[in-house]
Amino acid sequence: MVVEGSVRVNTDGVFYNPRMKTNRDICVAMASELGVNEYLDAFSASGIRGIRVRKEAGVERVVMNDISPSACRRIRENLALNDISDCEVTCESASALMSRRRFEAIDLDPFGSPAQFLAPAASSARSYLFITATDTAPLCGAHLKSGVRKYLAVPLNTEYHREMGVRILMGAVIREMARVDRRGIPLLSYATEHYVRVHMRIKKGAREADEALESMGYVEHCFGCGGWSLRMGMGCRSSGTCSFCGGRTCTAGPLWLGPLHDKDLLRASLKRLDPESRAHRLVLLCSEEIDVPFYYDHHKICRRLRITPSKVEKVISDLLEHGYRASRTHFNGVGIKTDAPMGDLISLLA
């Protein structure tokens, strides 16, 4: 028997990963802060996520689905164990269910890549779509061909590879939504441990979809000096040359280059999380990071410059003093997000 949040579940014979508690804690806080009324837990396994959303977030209509009949039996048992009698349990392929029915909020938490479920989810979710992806190697560029196949975009294994993963996934979702005249608006997006997680609000309309595509683009990265520059738009216009060191660049994309979070929502959600929890720490870091794509890895830059790294806080305060925006990032403990160009950051460090 597993106790998590305010629920108890029997996980015998079904998938359950205790490391995903943070993911579920944040999911419950978001569902309650957003006032979700209807939620599909499309890959339910033990049912723990849906049960927590019903009980802790108070979402009225929760549908729990799993393709495995034995998982569905376990979900029913776990609902009874928690004295819940008003949730629907369905036992079919998530794609088939989403193709047939629409839901206010949909949560995708499959094994590995969510890529094949993005198209049905983009049409089925009316207002919110939450997605977990555990295929971080393809998303972050470590398994390049698989990443290209799954997400129809080129990821690159850069120093900011965790954020690359988030933006490749987000880009794929935004493009799927645009195909059905919808716009995906990122509410909270993070990469931690072995997975990437995005939470999005959905708006209807062709014009909305066009606007979303304006924040798609490419990143031209130089593996020589670690610098990069952004190219906005769906058409790729790489220069091929690094503007900092003159080296050859590689291009990743198309990917999402817009904001990753709705900061007001994150600040409001914090009060729903235990201040001592990992979930609280993660959402706090996300709410404090500035909205510029990617980040510098302070230690890697210093290694390249052959200097001893100072404290990250010191670099951030120096950047702020020089009139740049700068913050830490949840993606990397020694990462620095800033709008300072690579050259200016280097002169400040050296």
Ligand X SMILES: C[S@@+](CC[C@H](N)C(=O)[O-])C[C@H]1O[C@@H](n2cnc3c(N)ncnc32)[C@H](O)[C@@H]1O
Residue 12 found at the interface with ligand X (CB under 6 A): no
Q: In the range 24-53, which residues lie near ligand X by CB under 6 A? A: 24, 43-46, 48-49
Say how many residues touch ligand X, by CB under 6 A.
21
Residue 7 found at the interface with ligand X (CB under 6 A): no
Residue 71 found at the interface with ligand X (CB under 6 A): yes
Please, where are the H alpha helices in 12-116?
21-34, 48-55, 69-81, 94-100
Comparing CB distances to ligand X, the nearer of 27 and 178 is 27
132 C-beta neighbours (distance < 10 Å), count = 20
**Beta strand 216-221 with 182-192: parallel, antiparallel or unpaired?**
unpaired
307: Cβ–Cβ under 8 A, 6 or more apart, which residues? 349, 350
Instruction: Tokens 């062709």: give the residue.
Output: 206
Comparing CB distances to Zn ion, the nearer of 205 and 246 is 246
Q: Give strand pairing partners of 61.
A: 38
Q: Which does 156 bind (CB under 5 to 8 A by kind): ligand X, Zn ion, none?
A: none
Structure token pair of residue 122: 């983009």
317: Cβ–Cβ under 8 A, 6 or more apart, which residues? none
What letter would DSSP give residue 222?
Answer: -
Instruction: Tokens 């033990």: give the residue.
Output: 46
Q: In the range 133-192, which residues lie near Zn ion by CB under 5 A? A: none
Q: x/- contact string, 297-316, with ligand X (CB under 6 A)?
A: --------------------
Contact 273, 256 (CB under 8 A): no
Contact 31, 269 (CB under 8 A): no
Does residue 286 have a known ligand-binding role? Answer: no
Structure token pair of residue 176: 């799927």
Q: Which does 64 bind (CB under 5 to 8 A by kind): Zn ion, ligand X, none?
A: none
Comparing CB distances to ligand X, the nearer of 117 and 331 is 117
Q: Which does 16 bind (CB under 5 to 8 A by kind): ligand X, Zn ion, none?
A: ligand X
What is the identity of the amino acid at 14?
V
Q: Which does 222 bind (CB under 5 to 8 A by kind): ligand X, Zn ion, none?
A: Zn ion
Instruction: Return d(Cα 106, Cα 34) in angstroms, integer.
Output: 13
Comparing CB distances to Zn ion, the nearer of 39 and 295 is 295
Q: x/- contact string, 144-183, with ligand X (CB under 6 A)?
A: ----------------------------------------
Contact 109, 118 (CB under 8 A): no
Q: x/- contact string, 91-130, with ligand X (CB under 6 A)?
A: --xx--------------xxx-------------------
Does residue 222 have a known ligand-binding role? Answer: yes
How far, rounded to the nearest angstrom, does the alpha carbon of residue 249 sit from its chain's CA centroid? Answer: 26
Residue 242 found at the interface with Zn ion (CB under 5 A): yes
The CB-side HSE value for 124 (13 A sphere, CA atoms) comes to 26
Does residue 225 have a known ligand-binding role? Answer: yes
Binding-site member from 7, 20, 57, 279 for ligand X (CB under 6 A) = 20
Q: Which does 224 bind (CB under 5 to 8 A by kind): ligand X, Zn ion, none?
A: Zn ion
Instruction: Return d(Cα 125, Cα 101) in angstroms, integer.
Output: 9
Q: Which residues bind ligand X (CB under 6 A)?
A: 14-16, 20, 24, 43-46, 48-49, 65-68, 71, 93-94, 109-111
Q: Which residues bind Zn ion (CB under 5 A)?
A: 222, 224-225, 227, 242, 244-245, 247
